[in-house]
Chain A
């Protein structure tokens, strides 16, 4: 299948899935994992990188950056390019190029160690951009909730070429 046909199929699939909400558990937030994330992101503030610090806080970007909860995915869940088959709507099984387009992250609460996080997400927009065959811009709305309510809302954009 050529790139043009693949993009058309992605667009067709994606448009059909607009507004369909799915759920995914990210598991329970562990302070040690959040601290490891903060270190990997280049942070050095003790309250972010030391789980034993009296003022320890989960890095606000932690849960929105984690693509899967523990224990991770099975090999069959990956595309040949290493992305998860279901991460970018409509692209499963198709030889298309995937890039991040950006995000808008809004915090409505504080993620804490021990929170069990559930991700809800839905594709909300499919746009054809550029000249020629161009590319697709997919917009996904996401919310991250714990027992006490929604803590983070995200609008994420993917570029499919």
Chain B
């Protein structure tokens, strides 16, 4: 076993550069309304097209926390059953429009065999042009 390949859980090996399976979500106007309601987020850029345009946006845009949920989902699925997500971070690079298909994917950045923590580099692409809308990372312990 090399420094870059570590057995971090029974029956599972994780290596630096290993793919993080992609997860996706296509939030439409209904999704944004529901998510805004349950989080009590009334910022008009998420549902008011005329207001969004006045702010320089083409259409309403996806909430930051919804991006965060997709990053978390990618990390949690990589961690697997019994795994743990200890940290998720993301930076917004470009707004994602309502109706855009969002896909979070990534690779393993590092493996800490002593603590069992795995750091993932994650990236979110959005829309028909596959633009980068967020970059992020996660720290997980696999199950």
User: Residues of A with Cβ closer than 8 Å to B?
Assistant: 33, 36-37, 39-43, 59-61, 64-68, 72-73, 78, 81-83, 97-107, 155, 157, 159
Cα A104 to Cα B72 in complex, Å, equals 11
Q: Do A81 and B44 contact each other (CB < 8 Å), given the known contacts A42-B31, A67-B39?
A: yes
> In the complex, which of the residues B34, B42, B64, B69 contacts A82, with contact meaning CB atoms closer than 8 Å?
B42
A65 touches B89 (CB 8 A): no
Interface residues of B: mostly helix, strand, loop or mixed?
mixed
Cα A59 to Cα B128 in complex, Å, equals 30
B64 touches A42 (CB 8 A): no
B87 touches A106 (CB 8 A): yes
Q: Which residues of chain A come closer than 8 Å to B90, judged between CB atoms?
A: 102-103
Cα A160 to Cα B28 in complex, Å, equals 26
> In the complex, which of the residues A43, A64, A78, A81 contacts B73, with contact meaning CB atoms closer than 8 Å?
A43
Q: Which residues of chain B come closer than 8 Å to A83, judged between CB atoms?
A: 42-43
Q: Does B1 contact A (CB under 8 A)?
A: no
> In the complex, which of the residues A65, A78, A97, A159 contacts B69, with contact meaning CB atoms closer than 8 Å?
A65
A41 touches B64 (CB 8 A): no
A102 touches B89 (CB 8 A): yes
Q: Residue-by-residue, is B24-51 near A (CB-CB < 8 Å gives 1, otherwise 0)?
A: 0101000100110111111111001001
Name the CB-closest residue of B to A42. Answer: B25
Known: A42-B69, A103-B89, A104-B87. 19 other contacts (CB 8 A): A36-B38, A40-B31, A43-B73, A60-B72, A61-B65, A65-B69, A67-B40, A73-B40, A78-B42, A82-B43, A82-B51, A83-B42, A83-B43, A102-B64, A102-B89, A104-B89, A105-B72, A106-B86, A155-B89
Q: Does B18 contact A (CB under 8 A)?
A: no
Q: Do A97 and B55 contact each other (CB < 8 Å), given the known contacts A36-B38, A40-B38, A104-B89?
A: yes
Q: Which residues of chain A come closer than 8 Å to B64, judged between CB atoms?
A: 100, 102-103
Nearest CB on B from A96, distance (A): 10
B68 touches A40 (CB 8 A): no
Q: Do A41 and B66 contact each other (CB < 8 Å), given the known contacts A72-B40, A73-B40, A82-B43?
A: yes
A102 touches B69 (CB 8 A): no
Nearest CB on B from A113, distance (A): 15
Within 8 A of A (CB), among B75-89: 85-89
A33 touches B38 (CB 8 A): yes
Cα A103 to Cα B40 in complex, Å, equals 18
Q: Which residues of chain A come closer than 8 Å to B42, judged between CB atoms?
A: 78, 82-83
Q: Which residues of chain A come closer than 8 Å to B92, judged between CB atoms?
A: 99-102, 159
Q: Does B130 contact A (CB under 8 A)?
A: no
